[in-house]
Amino acid sequence: YETTSVRCDSRDNLRARCATRVLGIEARVTYQRSRAECISGRTYGLEDGGRTLWVDGGCRGEFEVSYRR
């Protein structure tokens, strides 16, 4: 698998969506920039076939998105 880095921030505890530019199959936090926890499936995840990373509940950070080449 290949990986790409995506920065995504939930401001004011609202859901935000950030383009991954790939068809991601998995995302993980590499650097959490918020006090609010970033928990996979709860405050962040992939949607739209892996094209979009969503964050919620104040989760802000850098994410590594894995995809097939």
Query: For 10, what's the count of Cα atoms within 13 Å in the CB-facing half-sphere?
Result: 22
pLDDT in tens, 12-67: 999 999 999 999 999 999 999 999 999 999 999 999 999 999 999 999 999 999 99
Q: DSSP letters along 13-59, please?
A: T--EEEE-SS-EEEEEEEEE-SSS---BTTTEEEEGGGTEEEE-TT-
